[in-house]
Amino acid sequence: MAHLRPLTSTDIPDVARLFHKVFNGGKGPVSPEVVSYLRALYVDHLACAADIPPLVYLDQGDRILGFIGRHAIPFARGEEPLRAALCSTIMVDADARDPLAGARLLRGAFDGPQDFTFTESALDVSLHMWRSAGAVPIAGHSLDWLYPIRPVTFAVEITGKRHRLSPVLRPLAKAADRLVNRFTKPEMAAAPRQRTAAGQSEVSVTSADDFTDHFQALIGRFPLQPKWRTEQLRALVAEASAKQKFGQPVFGSVHKAGRLLGAFFYHVRPGGVARVVQLLALPGAESEVFSHLLNHASDMQASAVRGRVQPFLMDCMLGRRVVLLNAASTLVHTRNPKLMAELSQGQGFLNGLAGEQWSRLLGDVL
Determine contact, residues 211/251, Cβ cutoff 8 Å.
Answer: yes
Q: What is the mean pLDDT of residues 341-358?
A: 94
- Do 3-139 and 144-149+191-325 have matching folds? yes
For the stretch 197-244, pLDDT in tens is 555 899 999 999 999 999 999 999 999 999 999 999 999 999 999 999
- The per-residue pLDDT for 96 is 82
pLDDT-derived band at 321 (thresholds 50, 70, 90) equals confident
The pLDDT tens digits of the residues spanning 299-317 come to: 999 999 999 999 999 999 9
The answer to whether 166 and 160 are in contact (CB under 8 A) is yes
pLDDT confidence band for 280 (50 / 70 / 90):
very high
Are 327 and 144 a contacting pair, CB within 8 Å?
yes
pLDDT at 333 over 50: yes
Q: Are 232 and 255 in contact (CB under 8 A)?
A: no
Domain ranges of the chain: 3-139, 144-149+191-325
C-alpha distances out from residue 206 to 210, 212, 265, 354, Å: 6, 10, 10, 21
CATH architecture assigned to 144-149+191-325: 3-Layer(aba) Sandwich (3.40)
- For residue 169, pLDDT over 90 is answered with no
Which of 3.40.605.10, 1.10.1060.10, 3.40.50.1820, 3.40.630.30 is the CATH number of 3-139? 3.40.630.30
Closest to 67 (Cα-Cα) out of 151, 142, 11:
11
What's the pLDDT score for residue 190?
A: 45
Mean local confidence (pLDDT), 75-101: 93
pLDDT score at 171: 66
Rounded to an integer, the average pLDDT of 74-88 is 96
Report the pLDDT value the prediction gives residue 258, as an integer from 0 to 100: 93
Q: How much is the pTM?
A: 0.91
- The pLDDT of residue 97 is 82
Whether residue 153 is predicted with pLDDT greater than 90 in this model: the reply is no
Bridge partners of residue 279, in order along the sequence: 264
- Average pLDDT of the segment spanning 262-271: 96
DSSP string across 214-234: HHHHHGGG-SEEE---HHHHH
The whole-angstrom separation of Cα 332 and Cα 77 is 16
